[in-house]
Each structure stands twice: as C-alpha cells, then as structure tokens.
C-alpha cells in the first residue's frame, strides 16, 4: 500500500503543510500546480524535495480558485476542464524536466476531484487531458465498490488508473465517503486512523455503521498539516513497511 500526500500548497509568503518533514515518509507527492495553490518557486522546491527523497511525483490540478483553495465547484465546459488539467500538469512537468524527472500520475484536487467522481462528463474530460500528455501518466480516482464504468472508459483512452482510499475519512455502507459536514466524517484519533490503514492494506474497511466492506485500493491518502499528523504519517509508513 502506497502513501500519497498533497504537497507544494504554499503560495508566496503563505506556508501550508510540512512538506520537508512529510516527504521522507510517503511514496507519492501530489504537487499543486498553481491554480488552487502554489507558485513556480514552490513547485520547483517541492519537486526538488521529492527527487531528493525518491518520491513519485504527481500533478495535483484544481479549479482556478485560490480564495476557496479549490474546494468550490466551478462550472466548466468539458473542453475547459481538459485544458485546465493539461495546462497545470504541463507546467509541473516542465519543472520536473528541469530536475530530470517527470509527472507519473495526475490526481485532481478538491472540488475537481469530487466533480470527477460525480459527473461523467468531467471524468471523461480529465481522461482526455491525461491521455494527451507525454509519458502516459496514470490517473488517481476514488476506490469504490463498483468502478466498472470508470475502468472501461479509462481503458478506451489508454489511461491506467490508481485507486485511492483515505486514512482519516469515515465510509458509509455504500462505499462512499461520509460528507465532511456530518459528525464523525473525519477521524482525529490516531488509533482509529491506524486501524483503518491496516484494514485498507488488507482490502477492507469498517463503515460508520460498523459493517466490513471489501475495498481494493492501491494507495491511501494522508495529510501532514501539523507536527502531530507528521508523526502519525511516519508511524503509518513504518507499520506498512515492516
């Protein structure tokens, strides 16, 4: 089970996250590309840090929404979705090339990620962008009980998928994430998070209702927003790599 984490989300003098402390303990870095957060210098530094720690680099494109941190859904035509994903990923990959590396996958950010999983036209528009990029990057999507339609369409575009689960989010019996607005949707207890990661590594998750679901994921998303969460990521990484 690979660990992925959102990185490079600082902007100018505004610092977000603990990238330097987190990077040694993850396998995949989802690097912001300048629309919801980041800037060229931040992208440069984050790629440099990923290369130093032998971490796989992914583009983390979002809606052009720094004020809302990319968490607001903004209506776009499919062509506009394709172009904004290609534009952001291309910018990150250009800086990657400067460091003799490349973008290995694309993971949409925030509202764009949620729209991708809820609106087929958005998903297909993102597939078109990814399929048109050099070096055949993969696309990260949410691991669900049934992703057959997503898998079939990705196959048509020749795009490989990476299925993602979340360490600190509650799941419902239908396999969906519990909405953040609901009580208990986000875990803060370290033991609960560790238990969920261990379960996901074995292909299952315990739902909010107490039932066990089979859920196949290739990677689990973790967040390193403070010193406590960085220490937890280190522990998760060590548990998975024992």
Domains by residue range for the chain, with CATH:
2-240 (3.20.20.370)
Query: What pLDDT is attached to residue 225?
Result: 75
pLDDT at 49 over 80: yes
Mean pLDDT of 46-50: 98
Mean pLDDT of 140-146: 95
Mean pLDDT of 37-66: 97
Residue 100, C-beta contacts closer than 8 angstroms, at least 6 positions apart: 51
55-89 b/e (C-beta count within 10 Å ≥ 16 → b): bbbbbbbbbebbeebbeebbebeeeebbebbbebb
pLDDT at 209 over 80: yes
Query: What pLDDT is attached to residue 181?
Result: 87
pLDDT at 12 over 90: no
pLDDT (tens digit, 9 = 90+) per residue, 84-121? Answer: 999 999 999 999 999 999 999 999 999 999 999 999 99
pLDDT confidence tier of residue 4, bands split at 50, 70 and 90: very high
Rounded CA separation 71/139 (Å): 20
Query: What pLDDT is attached to residue 83?
Result: 98
CB atoms within 10 A of CB 158: 10
Query: What pLDDT is attached to residue 223?
Result: 86
pLDDT confidence tier of residue 227, bands split at 50, 70 and 90: confident
Query: What pLDDT is attached to residue 6?
Result: 96
Which residues of 101-195 form beta strands (DSSP E)?
105-106, 138-142, 161-166
User: Would strands 28-32 and 56-60 be described as parallel, antiparallel, or unpaired?
Assistant: parallel
Query: What pLDDT is attached to residue 166?
Result: 95
Query: What pLDDT is attached to residue 30?
Result: 98
Rounded CA separation 186/222 (Å): 12
Query: What is this structure's pTM?
Result: 0.95
CB atoms within 10 A of CB 40: 12
Query: What pLDDT is attached to residue 15?
Result: 87
User: Maximum Cα–Cα distance for the chain, whole Å?
Assistant: 49
What mean pLDDT value characterizes the chain? 95
* Chain centroid, CA 63 distance in Å: 14
Query: What pLDDT is attached to residue 16?
Result: 86
pLDDT confidence tier of residue 208, bands split at 50, 70 and 90: very high
CA distances from 210 to 60, 170, 205, 206 (A): 33, 11, 10, 6
List 206's β-bridge partners, or say none.
212
Query: What pLDDT is attached to residue 143?
Result: 96
pLDDT confidence tier of residue 172, bands split at 50, 70 and 90: very high
Residue 189, C-beta contacts closer than 8 angstroms, at least 6 positions apart: none
pLDDT at 152 over 90: yes
Percent of the chain with pLDDT over 90: 87
């Amino acid at each position: 089970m690979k660990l992925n984490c959102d990185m490079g989300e600082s902007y100018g003098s505004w610092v977000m996250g603990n990238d330097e402390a987190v990077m040694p303990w993850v396998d995949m870095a989802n690097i912001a590309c300048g629309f919801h957060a980041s800037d060229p210098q931040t992208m440069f530094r984050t790629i440099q840090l990923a290369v130093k720690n032998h971490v796989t680099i992914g583009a983390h494109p979002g809606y052009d929404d720094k004020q809302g941190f990319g968490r607001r859904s903004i209506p776009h035509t499919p062509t506009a979705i394709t172009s904004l994903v290609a534009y952001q990923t291309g910018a990150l990959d250009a800086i990657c090339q400067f460091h003799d590396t490349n973008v290995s996958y694309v993971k949409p950010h925030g509202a764009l990620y949620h729209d991708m999983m809820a609106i087929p036209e958005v998903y297909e528009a993102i597939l078109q962008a990814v399929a048109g990029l050099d070096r055949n990057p993969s696309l990260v999507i949410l691991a669900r009980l049934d992703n057959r339609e997503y898998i079939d369409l990705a196959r048509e575009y020749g795009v490989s998928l990476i299925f993602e689960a979340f360490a600190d989010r509650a799941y419902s019996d239908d396999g969906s994430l519990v909405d953040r607005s609901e009580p208990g949707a986000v875990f803060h207890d370290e033991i609960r998070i560790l238990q969920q990661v261990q379960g996901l590594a074995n292909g299952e998750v315990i739902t909010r209702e107490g039932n066990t679901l089979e859920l196949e994921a290739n990677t689990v998303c973790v967040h390193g927003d403070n010193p406590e969460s960085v220490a937890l990521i280190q522990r998760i990484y060590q548990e998975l790599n024992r």
